[in-house]
Each structure stands twice: as structure tokens, then as C-alpha cells.
């Protein structure tokens, strides 16, 4: 009897325990579904000198996630909210082999389905097939290695390298007295792309300017700016377009060419002005610094939402850690955000098809933008967002110089720019 | 003529960094991989002091204070590395190699976490430039050149005209012979690590005034310095100076004539050729 009475008690206890456990599991599941997490990968340099690009970009993405999470998560087109978790992967310094290793960790080990990576063509190529095979929608701050064979690789914003062409063209338009252009870029695949795009931007002004210096440099040579820039200055340029110097190197470059007598204008993807202004006074450089990449968040007029990125970043990391590269990851991941918002499902294939199938994408920073890229890549996978171009005001603050319509510029100048890009090995259709 | 000035300025950089490493390697016979981070600390000492004393001290005076403070603090760090790593792991060169490599990563990450990954640059403490015979001579670079000459002169006096310096040289030339003369190896090791680390910090302050200051600046400089001390002759200070000027000339000319992107490759080939045909380097003593 003791046993027969004991068994029901034991069974009762077990049932009660199971019920409690079941309730707990149900409660946990309900909580999880209310706060389902979407992992977003960021493949960027996380150490070394290139970390000066990659770390601020990753931080920008983290702030993007924090802002959405503070709203209760990203409201997707399926009506649910998803918390965002950023996972960073190191590609050392945009080295294709390291990009592949990072891609394997992200895609094969962690199951990432949405990702941001560099525009650097060699790095994008390294993981192109993997992103296609595993349906990983991968955005970038520009258009590297886009192709109809790899629809999951998209160019999320105008960005690199198209911005170089547009900034060079804008600087020439604004300075009709500029006749001689010097181009100096890093000896890397992104530098070679920049070289061709700067050339294309100058080619759009055939009656105005010629290229008088056009060289690549080894990153190792940047410790000797005086030696590196002496031959450039011997070409007597009116405008210097550069790509590849990290922000503090760029400050030394500006100081060095100023010492060597340069009085013309500069064009670049970005200038970290606080560092530069420690070396050269604002009144000397005012009106001479043309740059544009994504948007400059420290300048408040273009995008109040984007300016929040700046204020948050400065609060977290300090003003001297601000980088003009922080907004580019923030802006590029915004394209995936737009896709998830409009897609009926967060399945990456559905998001990709919804995004690329949309005639107009309502980008959270740039507003309505259209796809392009067919003439260069053979696929319209590049979102042609408008490009804000900035300059330095006399008071040392940045000013919005011009908002350039990328699509309209391309339509107007494609006939002269496209052959130059082709000659530079940048047409892949 | 500008090329001549550029050669001198670049060689100055190579000399200022390589001699400390050559001294440490010559005496200790092992590599301190954290030497580059000691150099980086020199750069950050300048940056911190310039920021702290802006409006209080003239930048030129702050520059000199930074030289003294960085040399003292980093010299003491060298002593701590000697006591905690080199002394404990003596007779185990591979363990020292790994331990100092690990230390260099720790120091890099510590600076990234404490200050941030973004490179910094300081306004030249001695701004402006001089035009001379068609050459542009930035005053700060002339100051760096002058201080490097003073640093080398001081090192020469220490090694050639003091008992301690002579003991250091004796140890570098023949460790067993020096011990038989009653020279304390521990004392010499501590002295060498202090002086070598202080030289790295002084180099960091000097170069921090003309280059970028970043948590990773030491790693780049270290690899270049390895090539210089290997070509000059491991442990030979005069060899390091000669090799520094050799590479200063080669790198400057290649950059000037549009072949700068090949300079690292050419430098490595020269190192391989020297190792093949002159294994002791240009001025190194045969083992």
C-alpha cells in the first residue's frame, strides 16, 4: 500500500514538475519569439593599422543595432520585431584569404544570413560563391565585385569606388581654375579601383583638366611622406586626389604638401578634420577639402538620424576617436534594414528578392534610391544613393558643399567615364 | 637636392629606432619583440604630454619633457621585462621570443582599450620650414635629426668612455670572457634593457612628432629594424647605422623614381643576399 500510495504521489510530483517545466518552457518560448534575435555579421579589420578603418565601421554598426534594439527591435515586414546582434569577424587588412576565413566562421560556423563587408573587389570575390551558395545577403559601402551570378552581394550605397569619381568631378566643377590633377593611391586592389574612378571623374571634364601625376605607393612608404610626396609636387598639381592613407597619415600628407608649397584643392573619400587642423590652420584649408563617401555624421544638416550616430559615438568613445569611416557601415547596413522592413519574411532569399525587385528603396539615411550598375557589373545590384559632398568652412567646421545625384551624373557622363573605367580594369559585365 | 634631404631624414628614422634593438640583441642575444611597443609608448608619451601641457608649456619644452619622461618610464619598463621574462627564461631563447611576442600583443591591445584604435598626430612642436638651396627642410625634421645625433653621441660616450659601457661592449663581444673578468651578467642585462628600452622610447618621441602615433606603429618599425640590424651585422651598432643609411638611400630613391611600391621587396632581397654571402652582416663580428 505504501508503494501504491507512493507511486501516485511520485507520479503526481512528476506530472506537476513536468507541467511547471512545460509552463516555464512555454513562457521562455513566448519571450524568445517576442524578442527573436537576428545576427548580423561584420567582416572588417579588428586590429593593426587597418583597424583604424574597421573598428570605427564596426562600432557604427553596433550603434545601428543599439538604436534599433532601444526601439524594441527592428520591425520587419512580417510584422514582428527582431533584436539585432552584431558579430564582428577580422579580415586582418582586407586580405582576400583572411576574408575567406572570416566568411567561413560567419557563414558556416555561426549561420549568419545578413552581413556587411568591405567593397574591396578581391575580398568580395573571396566569399562571393559562399554567400551565393548559403544565401547570405551581404551589403557593402560601395560596389565591389557585383555580378548577376552573385545576387546576394549588393552595393548598399553609392560609396566606394563610385564616390571617388563623383568627388573628383564635383571638385573640378566647383574650381574651374583647376587644370592639373595628381592622383596618389595605395598599391592594393582598392587603390587600383580608386585610381580608375578618379581618372573617370577627371575624364568627365575633358576641356578643363589633365592628369599630371598618377602613382601607387606602398603602405610601407608612408613613414616618409616627404620622400613620397616630393615627386608628386614636382608635377605642379592644382588638385590632389588620394586614397589609402589612414586618417592621421592624411593629416601628415596635407601638412607636407602645404610645406612643399601646394595651394590647390584636395579630393578624397574622407578627411578627419580635427587631426588635420592640429597641423594646418582652418583658414589655410577652408574651401579646399572636397570629400564624400557615405555621409558625414558630424555635420547635422544632411541627416538628423545620422547625426545621432555622431553624438552617440562621441559619448561612447570620445571626440578624438571619431572617424569619417564610422557612418559608412551604418549607412550600408541601412540598405539591409530597408529590405527587411519591406520583405514579407526575414528569410534572406526573400529579403534579397524583395530588395532587388523594388523599383525604389526607401533608405533610412538617403531616402528613395534606385538600383543601377548594369553597365559596369552587368547587374543592377548597386543602390545609387545620392552623395553628399562636404568641404571645410573657414571656422573649421564641415559644411555640406553639394548633394550630388549619382544616377543623374552617371547618365550625363557615362559615355566618357565608362571607357576610362574599362581601361582601368573596373568593368566586369 | 630635396632627395638628399629626404635620404637624411629617412635614415635618421631608421637609425634612431634600430640602434636600441641592435644594442639589446647584441648583449642579450635574443629578440625583444616588445621593443616596438616601447617605441610606441614614446610616441604616446609625446601625445599625452602635448595634450596635457597645451597652454601651460611651450610645445618645444613639452617635447623635451616628453623625451626625458618617456626615456625614464620606458627604461624602467625594460628593467621589469628583464626581471620578469628575460631573467626567468634565460637559456630558453624560444620561450623569450614567445613571451615578448605575447607581451607586444598585450601592450597593443591595452593601448587600443585605453586610448582607442585611431591613430593620432601631434602638431609639430617646432613648426615651420626652411628653404635652402631648393630644399624644403621642415624644422621639426631638423630637430629630430639633431636629437638623433645627440642620442647617438651620448650612446657612443657611454659605450666607449665609461666602465659600465665598456662592460656592456665586453659582454656583447664575448660573454664568457666578460664573466671571467668579474662582470656581473645580471647588472649588464639590467643596464642594457634600461638603455635599449629608453632608446626605443626616445625614438618614439622623436618620430611621433613627424609620423602618426598608433597602437600598431611599433610592429611596422620592428620589422624594418630587423632587416637593418641583420644587414648591418647583428649586435653591431656601427653596422646598424651603415645599414640604416643604405636603406634610407635605396628606399628614398625608389620612392622618388616611382618604384616605391617595390621597396619592401628589394629590401628583403638585399637582406637575403647579405645573409647568403655575408652571414655576419656588413660590419658584424663572425661568431
Task: Say whether residue B135 is in contact with chain A using an 8 A CB cutoff.
Answer: no
pLDDT digits (tens, 9 = 90+) for A42-95: 999 988 778 888 999 999 999 999 999 999 999 999 999 999 999 999 998 888
CATH topology of domain A35-158+302-385: Rossmann fold (3.40.50)
Q: A323 and A297 in contact (C-beta within 8 Å)? A: no
A398 neighbors A299 (Cβ within 8 angstroms): yes
pLDDT at A18 over 90: no
Confidence (pLDDT) at B2: 77
Domain with CATH 3.40.50.2300 in chain A: 35-158+302-385, 161-293+389-423
With CA atoms as reference, the chain B residue closest to A229 would be B256
| Residues of chain A found within 8 Å of residue B255, distances taken between Cβ atoms | 217, 221, 224, 227-228, 231
Residue B10 is nearest to which of A227, A259, A321, comparing CB atoms?
A227
pLDDT at A6: 40
Under an 8 A CB cutoff, do A226 and B256 touch? Answer: no
Residues of chain A contacting residue B129, judged by C-beta atoms under 8 Å apart: 259
Strand partners, B43: none
Which range among A54-68, A88-102, A135-149, B115-129 shows the weakest confidence by mean pLDDT? Answer: B115-129
How many alpha carbons lie under 13 Å from residue A55 in its C-beta half-sphere? 21
Nearest CA in chain B to A247: B119
A47 min Cα distance to partner chain B (Å): 8
Query: Using an 8 Å Cβ cutoff, are A57 and A41 in contact?
Result: no
User: Per mean pLDDT, which range of A141-155, A175-189, B75-89, B253-267 is the poorest?
Assistant: B253-267
Locate A108 and state its grid cell: 558556416
Whole-model pTM? Answer: 0.81
Q: Tell me if the bond preceding A161 is cis, omega within 30° of 0.
A: yes
* DSSP secondary structure letter of residue A264: S
Sign of torsion, CA B225 B226 B232 B235?
A: positive
Distance, in angstroms, between B50 CA and closest chain A CA? 11
Reported CATH class of domain A161-293+389-423 = alpha beta
Of B13, B109, B120, the CB nearest to A223: B13
Q: How far B199 CA sits from the closest chain A CA (Å)?
A: 19
**Which letter does DSSP use for residue A155 in this model?**
B
Span B76-100, average pLDDT? 91
Looking at mean pLDDT, say which of A95-99, A197-201, B166-170, B213-217 comes out highest: A197-201
Q: Is B255's CB within 8 Å of A217's CB?
A: yes
Q: Which residue, chain included where needed, has cell 666602465?
A: B163
Question: Mind listing the pLDDT tens digit for each residue in A102-136?
Answer: 999 999 999 999 999 999 888 999 999 999 999 99
For residue A183, CA distances in Å to A122, A297, A381, B203 come to 22, 27, 28, 32
Query: ipTM of the predicted structure?
Result: 0.73
What is the rounded CA–CA span in Å between residue B249 and residue B238?
A: 17
Shortest Cα–Cα distance, B285 to chain A (Å): 30
Secondary element (H or E) of residue A332: helix A326-342
Contact B118 A321 (CB under 8 A): yes
Task: Give the residue on A whose Cα is nearest the Cα of B117.
Answer: A52
Average pLDDT, chain A: 89
Give the cell for residue B267: 629590401
How high does pLDDT run on average in chain B? 89
pLDDT at B175: 83
DSSP 3-state assignment of A2?
A: helix
Rounded to 5 degrees, φ, ψ at A181 are -115, 130
Give one DSSP letter per residue of chain B, joined into a string: -HHHHHHHHHHHHHHHHHHHHHHHHHHH-S--TTHHHHHHHHHHHHHHHHHHHTTTS-HHHHHHHHHHHHHHHHHHHHHHHIIIIITTTTT-HHHHHHHHHHHHHHHHHHHHHHT-SS-B----SS--EEEETTEEEEHHHHHHHHHHHHHHHHHHHHHHHSHHHHHHHHHHH-HHHHHHTT--HHHHHHHHHHHHHHHHHHHHHHHHTTS-B-TTHHHHHHHHHHHHHHHH-TT-HHHHHHHHHHHHHHHHHHHHTT-GGGHHHHHHHHHHHHHHH-TTTTTPPP-
- Give the pLDDT of residue B281: 86
Amino acid at each position: 500500500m505504501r508503494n501504491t500510495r507512493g507511486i501516485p504521489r511520485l507520479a503526481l510530483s512528476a506530472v506537476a514538475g513536468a507541467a511547471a517545466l512545460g509552463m516555464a518552457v512555454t513562457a521562455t518560448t513566448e519571450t524568445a519569439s517576442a524578442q527573436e534575435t537576428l545576427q548580423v555579421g561584420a567582416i572588417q579589420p579588428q586590429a593593426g593599422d587597418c583597424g583604424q578603418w574597421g573598428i570605427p565601421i564596426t562600432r557604427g554598426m553596433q550603434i545601428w543595432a543599439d538604436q534599433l534594439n532601444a526601439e524594441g527591435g527592428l520591425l520587419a515586414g512580417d510584422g514582428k520585431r527582431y533584436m539585432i546582434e552584431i558579430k564582428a569577424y577580422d579580415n586582418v587588412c582586407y586580405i582576400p584569404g583572411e576574408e575567406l576565413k572570416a566568411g567561413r566562421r560567419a557563414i558556416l560556423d555561426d549561420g549568419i544570413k545578413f552581413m556587411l563587408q568591405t567593397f574591396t573587389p578581391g575580398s568580395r570575390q573571396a566569399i562571393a560563391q559562399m554567400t551565393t551558395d548559403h544565401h547570405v545577403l551581404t551589403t557593402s559601402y560601395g560596389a565591389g565585385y557585383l555580378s548577376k551570378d552573385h545576387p546576394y552581394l549588393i552595393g548598399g550605397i553609392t560609396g566606394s569606388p563610385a564616390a571617388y569619381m563623383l568627388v573628383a568631378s564635383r571638385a573640378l566643377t566647383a574650381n574651374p581654375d583647376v587644370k592639373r590633377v595628381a592622383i596618389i593611391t595605395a598599391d592594393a586592389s582598392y587603390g587600383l579601383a580608386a585610381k580608375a574612378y578618379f581618372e573617370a571623374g577627371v575624364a568627365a571634364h575633358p576641356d578643363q583638366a589633365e592628369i599630371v601625376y598618377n602613382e601607387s605607393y606602398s603602405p610601407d612608404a608612408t613613414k616618409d611622406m616627404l620622400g613620397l610626396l616630393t615627386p608628386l609636387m614636382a608635377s605642379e598639381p592644382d588638385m590632389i586626389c588620394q586614397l589609402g592613407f589612414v586618417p592621421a597619415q592624411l593629416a601628415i600628407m596635407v601638412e607636407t604638401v602645404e610645406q612643399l608649397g601646394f595651394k590647390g584643392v584636395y579630393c578624397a573619400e574622407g578627411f578627419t578634420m580635427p587631426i588635420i587642423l592640429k597641423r594646418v590652420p582652418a583658414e589655410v584649408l577652408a574651401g579646399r577639402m572636397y570629400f564624400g563617401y557615405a555621409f558625414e555624421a558630424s555635420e547635422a544638416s544632411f541627416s538628423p538620424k545620422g547625426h545621432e550616430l555622431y553624438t552617440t559615438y562621441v559619448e561612447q568613445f570620445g571626440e578624438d576617436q571619431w572617424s569619417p569611416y564610422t557612418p559608412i557601415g551604418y549607412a550600408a547596413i541601412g540598405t539591409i534594414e530597408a529590405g527587411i522592413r519591406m520583405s514579407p519574411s526575414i528569410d534572406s532569399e526573400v529579403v534579397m528578392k524583395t530588395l532587388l525587385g523594388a523599383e525604389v528603396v526607401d533608405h533610412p539615411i538617403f531616402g528613395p534610391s534606385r538600383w543601377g550598375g548594369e553597365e559596369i557589373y552587368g547587374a543592377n545590384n548597386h543602390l545609387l544613393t545620392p552623395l553628399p559632398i562636404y568641404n571645410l568652412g573657414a571656422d573649421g567646421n564641415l559644411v555640406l558643399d553639394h548633394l550630388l545625384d549619382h544616377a543623374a551624373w552617371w547618365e550625363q557622363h557615362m559615355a566618357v567615364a565608362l571607357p576610362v573605367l574599362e581601361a582601368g580594369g573596373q568593368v566586369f559585365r | 637636392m630635396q632627395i638628399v634631404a629626404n635620404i637624411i631624414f629617412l635614415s635618421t628614422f631608421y637609425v634612431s629606432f634600430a640602434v636600441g634593438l641592435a644594442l639589446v640583441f647584441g648583449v642579450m642575444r635574443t629578440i625583444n619583440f616588445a621593443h616596438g611597443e616601447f617605441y610606441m609608448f614614446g610616441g604616446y608619451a609625446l601625445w599625452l604630454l602635448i595634450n596635457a601641457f597645451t597652454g601651460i608649456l611651450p610645445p618645444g619644452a613639452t617635447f623635451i619633457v616628453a623625451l626625458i619622461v618617456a626615456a625614464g618610464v620606458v627604461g624602467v619598463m625594460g628593467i621589469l621585462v628583464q626581471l620578469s621574462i628575460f631573467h626567468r627564461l634565460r637559456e630558453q631563447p624560444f620561450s623569450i621570443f614567445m613571451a615578448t611576442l605575447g607581451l607586444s600583443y598585450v601592450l597593443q591591445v591595452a593601448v587600443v582599450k585605453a586610448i582607442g584604435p585611431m591613430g593620432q598626430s601631434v602638431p609639430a612642436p617646432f613648426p615651420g620650414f626652411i628653404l635652402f638651396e631648393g630644399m624644403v627642410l621642415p624644422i621639426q625634421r631638423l630637430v629630430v635629426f639633431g636629437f638623433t645625433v645627440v642620442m647617438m653621441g651620448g650612446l657612443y660616450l657611454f659605450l666607449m668612455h665609461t666602465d659600465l659601457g665598456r662592460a656592456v661592449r665586453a659582454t656583447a663581444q664575448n660573454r664568457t670572457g666578460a664573466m671571467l673578468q668579474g662582470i656581473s651578467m645580471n647588472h649588464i642585462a639590467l643596464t642594457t634593457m634600461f638603455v635599449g628600452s629608453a632608446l626605443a622610447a626616445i625614438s618614439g618621441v622623436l618620430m611621433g612628432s613627424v609620423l602618426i602615433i598608433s597602437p600598431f606603429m611599433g610592429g611596422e618599425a620592428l620589422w624594418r629594424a630587423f632587416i637593418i640590424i641583420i644587414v648591418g651585422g647583428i649586435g653591431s651598432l656601427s653596422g646598424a647605422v651603415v645599414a640604416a643609411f643604405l636603406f634610407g638611400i635605396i628606399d628614398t630613391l625608389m620612392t622618388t623614381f616611382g618604384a616605391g611600391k617595390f621597396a619592401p621587396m628589394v629590401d628583403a632581397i638585399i637582406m637575403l643576399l647579405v645573409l647568403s654571402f655575408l652571414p655576419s652582416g656588413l660590419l658584424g663580428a663572425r661568431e
